[in-house]
Amino acid sequence: NHEQQQRARAGRAETMSQPAVNGVSCVGKVLTLDNMNPNVRKVEYAVRGPIVQRAMQIERELKQGVKKPFTEVIKANIGDAHAMGQKPITFFRQVLALCSYPELLEDNNFPEDAKKRAQRILDSCGGHSIGAYSTSQGIECVRQDVARYIERRDGGIPSNPDNIYLSTGASDAIVTILKLLTCGEGHTRTGVMIPIPQYPLYSATVADQGAVQISYYLDEDRCWSLDVQELRRALDAAKQHCNPRVLCIINPGNPTGQVQSRQCIEDVIRFAKEEHLFLMADEVYQDNVYAEGSKFHSFKKVLFDMGPEYSSTVEMASFHSTSKCYMGECGFRGGYMEVINMDPEVKAQLTKLVSVRLCPPVPGQALLDLVVNPPQPDEPSYTSFMKERTDVLAALAEKARLTEEIFNTVPGITCNPVQGAMYTFPRITLPQKAIIKAKEGQEPDMFYCMRLLEEKGICLVPGSGFGQKEGTFHFRMTILPPTDKLKIVLERICEFHQWFTQEFS
């Protein structure tokens, strides 16, 4: 039925897009749903999908005075810290103000270390202005600071600033690497292994590039852990119809919140080497680790600890961002990647490719420099910086704990510990009647989330937007709201879940 409709549309489109004959203009649009880039049509990005459209509509209705069972919409669909009331780190914003308006360098209200940082950034900009283009790979002194940050993080394993590429958020760099790796047609088309559940940037980019998605499933029963046997299953099946070349890992996990063990990372690296896969390590939540016994291990550190057989061969890109961790500066679109063991000729192509877009936003580069080079113990801003940082991370740890605890009190909601990152991805049991009712038009978890939005004013993302094992249902919720508000959100969801279960029983 759906296919018939598609064919009917396509037929119509053919007629409509006939070129002009003898100067008589055509009917119909040049660009239609039927003749646009078919890969773009396949793109899906649930984090900002139809549920968010509806949430914004409800917000407008509230403004217009329409009566609802709530007074505001709480958008827990996205990891947007400042939007949830988190305050920016004072030191970072001081430096950014100084960079924006260098006349403030004369202002005695700004601390000396902030001025020093700002001056250093300005000195590395063309014409001493963050309004000049930087080199396409990013400002050299920022790349040097990133390399030193990585060296400190990884216990002294060397990092070369030439291998650092600054980017417009991590998304930009992830898309660029996937683009480099995509080639072939039909059975030789590049296959990209991505976790399920995944952050939908991956599935969207794979669709956009016309690459082949290879889904490997995380094990919900073992706290969303990754099992190499599952990687092998997925890979072997995929070899029948594509050319698997890339393995994407998200650690700490989004939307699943797990933190990978060192052993697991070793197994993954060994697998990547054996199977000749390019590793993409999405490590944007590297500072967001809360659970006791959990620790962030960078893929690079583990790779180098495994010895030269691995550290000199396995090709890898690791991604980081200014949008998450304790600073949550999403709007600045800052980020970087480090490429390891990349063929120098390919690196030259990468550098050429990024040059077409000129450069990442310079304010985001400046911010990134502060993240990787924060105030030091002997500097005036150190104490207040550390306090702000610690407060945010401690509150997040508390919220992670609360979330798991409260959700698990409700029959029909099962929630793994939020070991890291910024989200919970609980499993929900939906009554059969609701599943049947939803099937008329939408995924059952979308039906659930839409009802939650209408009844309680809480905006979540249905699990189907991230992928989930067939027959299971989930939602993603960020744990970012302030503790008091988070408690209300959690309670309202629990109430709703009980009501929903009754309503459709």
Which 266-285 residues touch a copy of itself, going by CB under 8 A? 273-278
Do 336 and 320 contact (CB within 8 A), yes or no?
Answer: yes
Instruction: Single out the residue of 357, 387, 433, 439 in contact with a copy of itself (rule: CB under 8 A).
Output: 357
Q: How far is the CB of 117 from a copy of itself (least distance, A)?
A: 14
Do 351 and 136 contact (CB within 8 A), yes or no?
Answer: yes
Q: How far is the CB of 87 from a copy of itself (least distance, A)?
A: 8
Binding region for a copy of itself (CB under 8 A) out of 78-86, 217-225, 298-306, 496-504: 78-86
Contact between 393 and a copy of itself per CB under 8 A: no
Strands (E) in 232-341, as ranges, are 243-250, 278-282, 316-321, 334-340
Among the listed residues 165, 175, 169, 173, the one whose alpha carbon sits nearest the alpha carbon of residue 137: 165
Contact between 237 and a copy of itself per CB under 8 A: no
| The token pair that represents 19 in the structure block | 């070129």
Binding region for a copy of itself (CB under 8 A) out of 321-329, 368-376, 391-399, 471-479: 321-329
Which C-beta is closer to a copy of itself: that of 33 or that of 66? 33
- Give the footprint of a copy of itself on residues 83-102 (CB under 8 A): 83-86, 88, 93-94, 96-98, 100-101
Give the number of residues in contact with a copy of itself, rule: CB under 8 A.
105
Among the listed residues 409, 404, 448, the one whose alpha carbon sits nearest the alpha carbon of residue 425: 404
Three-state secondary-structure class, residue 340: strand
Cis bond before residue 255 (omega within 30° of 0): yes
Instruction: Single out the residue of 150, 201, 372, 430 in contact with a copy of itself (rule: CB under 8 A).
Output: 201
- Give the footprint of a copy of itself on residues 125-144 (CB under 8 A): 125-127, 129-136
Among the listed residues 478, 498, 475, the one whose alpha carbon sits nearest the alpha carbon of residue 489: 478
Binding region for a copy of itself (CB under 8 A) out of 345-353, 410-418, 451-459, 470-478: 345-353
Which C-beta is closer to a copy of itself: that of 45 or that of 499? 45
Q: How far is the CB of 20 from a copy of itself (least distance, A)?
A: 5
- Give the footprint of a copy of itself on residues 1-40 (CB under 8 A): 17-20, 23, 25-26, 29-33, 35-38, 40
Burial (CB < 10 A; 0-12, 13-18, 19+), residue 64, is: exposed
Rounded CA gap, 257 and 189, in Å?
31
Rounded CA gap, 255 and 419, in Å?
12
Instruction: Single out the residue of 57, 160, 312, 349 in contact with a copy of itself (rule: CB under 8 A).
Output: 349
Any residues with CB less than 8 A from the CB of 277 and at least 6 apart, and which?
193, 244, 245, 246, 247, 271
Q: How far is the CB of 292 from a copy of itself (least distance, A)?
A: 30
Rounded CA gap, 264 and 377, in Å?
35
- Give the footprint of a copy of itself on residues 361-380 (CB under 8 A): 361-364
Contact between 43 and a copy of itself per CB under 8 A: yes
Interaction mask 480-499, a copy of itself, x per CB under 8 A: --------------------
- Give the footprint of a copy of itself on residues 280-319 (CB under 8 A): 313, 315
Render the burial of 221-246: b for 16+ CB within 10 Å, e for the rest.
Answer: eebbbbeeebbeebbeebeeebbbbb
Which C-beta is closer to a copy of itself: that of 289 or that of 316? 316
Rounded CA gap, 368 and 488, in Å?
34
Q: How far is the CB of 23 from a copy of itself (least distance, A)?
A: 5
Do 324 and 79 contact (CB within 8 A), yes or no?
Answer: yes
Binding region for a copy of itself (CB under 8 A) out of 73-81, 150-158, 433-441, 460-468: 73-81
Instruction: Single out the residue of 237, 346, 386, 394 in contact with a copy of itself (rule: CB under 8 A).
Output: 346
Residues in the chain, how many?
505
Q: How far is the CB of 116 from a copy of itself (least distance, A)?
A: 17
Torsion of CA 390, 394, 395, 400, to 10 degrees: 140
- Give the footprint of a copy of itself on residues 45-64 (CB under 8 A): 45, 47-49, 56
